[in-house]
Amino acid sequence: MARIPFVCGNWKMHKTAAEAVALVNELRDGVGEAAGRVQVAVAPPFTALHAVKQAIGGTRIELAAQDVHWEAQGAFTGEISAAMLADAGCTHGIVGHSERRQLFGETDETVRKKVGALLGAGIRPIVCVGETLGEREANRTLEVVERQVRGGLAGLSAEVLAGITVAYEPVWAIGTGKTATSAQAQEVHAAIRKLLRELGGSVADQIRIQYGGSVKPENARELMSQPDVDGALVGGASLKAKDFIAIVKGAL
Ligand code: PEP
């Protein structure tokens, strides 16, 4: 079944509000040309969400958050709730990014709680999974990815699963300049699709599975032409308008 490709830029801890608005203004025209055929979102840091929400008005660019806390409110210094993200205009939320898993103690259990919080606020989760280099070399890629997908999506109904995006991001390819080959990506994406079919039946054919890990204009088209690669989660290259636009066009 045809799935509309979904490309999301993860800006990580880059860009002040003014810089973020300048970047969105550069993205406008290029992304507009792909409108309707590719879904596009950007995930600025929390401090720039409001300004970016204003700046994307009148465009097809959507707003994503980079993380969320699972509690609705309370004494959680430094955290941001899903309701706050919805209030800021976010339609998507990234959870389980490998940097959160490796540097900030994210687990499959906290990913699942965050998925629940986002869904409760009407925000669509982008659930990141992926193996480390050691796990790949030990032939544990599929086992690790399966555990992360099962953990992050545990107990969700098929109807709810239909609105989720999974991002396969091999940790060894993130920010390293090393990209999975299109065959390596397709192998894992197909395994994820098979697992999603087990979890949600035929809705698995609607779920977008993004690839992430050093996606660049030079490799985007080849990666996204694989049958189970339905777009990209883009880090470094999403900070340059020209590169991000080229990647979005690579999904056409
Ligand atoms: C990411 O952080 O989600 C990512 C894929 O980063 P990069 O494109 O820089 O590898």
Over residues 131-166, the pLDDT tens digits come to 999 999 999 999 999 999 999 999 999 999 999 999
Please report, as a single letter, which amino acid is at residue 116: G
Q: Is 116 within the bounds of a domain? A: yes
Q: If phi over 0 gives left and psi between -120 and 50 gives alpha, with beta otherwise, what is residue 54?
A: alpha
Domain membership of residue 131 (yes or no) is: yes
What is the spatial distance between Cα 235 and Cα 248, in angstroms, rounded to a whole number?
13
Rounded alpha-carbon distances, angstroms, from residue 12 to 46, 65, 149: 10, 10, 22
For ligand 1, say whether the CB of 129 is within 6 Å of any of its atoms.
no
pLDDT tens profile 57-109: 999 999 999 999 999 999 999 999 999 999 999 999 999 999 999 999 999 99
Tell whether the model's pLDDT for residue 1 goes beyond 70: no
pTM over 0.90, yes/no: yes
Complex ipTM > 0.95: yes
Q: Is residue 214 part of a domain?
A: yes
Q: Ligand 1, residues 10, 106, 176, 218: which to mutate, most atoms within 8 A of Cβ?
A: 10
Tell me if residue 169 is catalytic: yes
Q: Is residue 165 part of a domain?
A: yes
The reply to whether 15 sits in an annotated binding site is no
Helix (H) and strand (E) counts in the chain: 11, 8
Tell me how many domains the chain contains. Answer: 1
CATH code at 245? 3.20.20.70
Is position 1 within any domain?
no
Is 10 flagged in the annotation as binding?
yes
* Cα dihedral 110/112/117/119 (nearest 10): 160
- CA–centroid distance, 143 to ligand 1, in Å, is 22
Whole-angstrom distance, CA of residue 244 vs CA of residue 216: 8
Residue 233 lies in domain: 6-250
Q: What is the pLDDT of residue 128?
A: 98
Does any ligand 1 atom lie closer than 6 A to the CB of residue 236?
Answer: yes
Is residue 40 domain-resident? yes
